[in-house]
Amino acid sequence: MRILIKKGLIISPNEEFIGDVFIHNGIIEAVGEHVFKEADRVIDATGKFIIPGGIDVHTHLDMPYGEIKSRDDFYSGTVAAVFGGTTSIIDFPTQSKGEKLEKTFFKWKQKAENKSIIDYSFHMIITDPSVLDDSDFKFLVDNGITSIKIFTAYPDRLMLSDREIFSIMMIAKKYNLLVMVHAENGVIIDELIKFALSKGYTQPKYHALSRPPILEAEAINRVITYATLLDIPIYIVHTSSLEGLKVIARAREIKNDVLAETCPQYLYLSIENISHGNEEDYKYIFTPPVREKINHEFLWRGLSDNTLQVLSTDHCPFNFEDRMLGKNDFTKIPNGGAVIEHRLELSFKGVKQNKIDLRRWVEINSTNPAKIFGMYPRKGVIKVGSDADIVIWNPEFKRKISVTNHHMNIDYSMFEGIEVSGKAEIVISNGEIILENDQLKAKPGRGKFIKRKSFDSRVL
Ligand code: URP
Ligand code: ZN
Ligand code: ZN
Ligand 1 close to Cβ of residue 335 (< 6 A) = yes
List average pLDDT for each run of 10 residues in the chain, which is 460 residues long: 98 98 98 98 98 99 97 99 99 98 98 98 98 98 98 97 98 98 98 98 98 98 98 98 99 98 99 98 98 98 98 98 98 98 98 98 98 98 98 98 98 98 98 98 98 96
Please count the residues of the chain: 460
Cα dist from 281 to 274, 290, 330, 414, whole Å: 4, 11, 10, 10
Tell the residue nearest (CA) to atom 5 of ligand 1. 336
State the distance from the centre of ligand 3 to the C-alpha of 58, rounded, in angstroms.
Answer: 6
Which pLDDT value is given to residue 307? Answer: 98
Tell the residue nearest (CA) to atom 9 of ligand 1. 314
Ligand 1 close to Cβ of residue 314 (< 6 A) = yes
Which pLDDT value is given to residue 392? Answer: 99
Please report the beta strands in 243-361, taking only residues with DSSP state E, as ranges in sequence order.
Answer: 258-262, 310-311
State the distance from the centre of ligand 2 to the C-alpha of 260, rounded, in angstroms.
Answer: 13
Which pLDDT value is given to residue 269? Answer: 99
| SS3 (DSSP) at 368 | helix
Which string of DSSP letters, residue by residue, matches 178-224? Answer: EEEEE-S-HHHHHHHHHHHHHTT--STHHHHHTS-HHHHHHHHHHHH
Residue 165: other Cβ atoms inside 10 A: 22
Residue 25: other Cβ atoms inside 10 A: 10
Instruction: Using CA atoms of 409, 413, 414, 415 in order, give the dihedral in degrees to the nearest 10.
Output: 130
State the distance from the centre of ligand 3 to the C-alpha of 236, rounded, in angstroms.
Answer: 11
State the distance from the centre of ligand 3 to the C-alpha of 401, rounded, in angstroms.
Answer: 23
State the distance from the centre of ligand 2 to the C-alpha of 198, rounded, in angstroms.
Answer: 26
Which pLDDT value is given to residue 416? Answer: 98
d(CA 270, CA 289): 9
Contact (Cβ atoms closer than 8 angstroms) between residue 182 and residue 157: no
d(CA 415, CA 346): 9
Segments in 17-98 forming alpha helices (H)? 76-83
Ligand 1 close to Cβ of residue 151 (< 6 A) = no
Tell the residue nearest (CA) to atom 7 of ligand 1. 287
Ligand 1 close to Cβ of residue 261 (< 6 A) = no
Domains of the chain: 2-51+382-398+419-440 (2.30.40.10), 53-378 (3.20.20.140)
Which pLDDT value is given to residue 25? Answer: 98
Contact (Cβ atoms closer than 8 angstroms) between residue 11 and residue 22: no
Residue 191: other Cβ atoms inside 10 A: 11
Q: What's CA 99's distance to the chain center, in Å?
A: 25
Ligand 1 close to Cβ of residue 281 (< 6 A) = no
Residue 357: other Cβ atoms inside 10 A: 14
Which backbone phi and psi does 263 adopt, to 5 degrees?
A: -135, 155
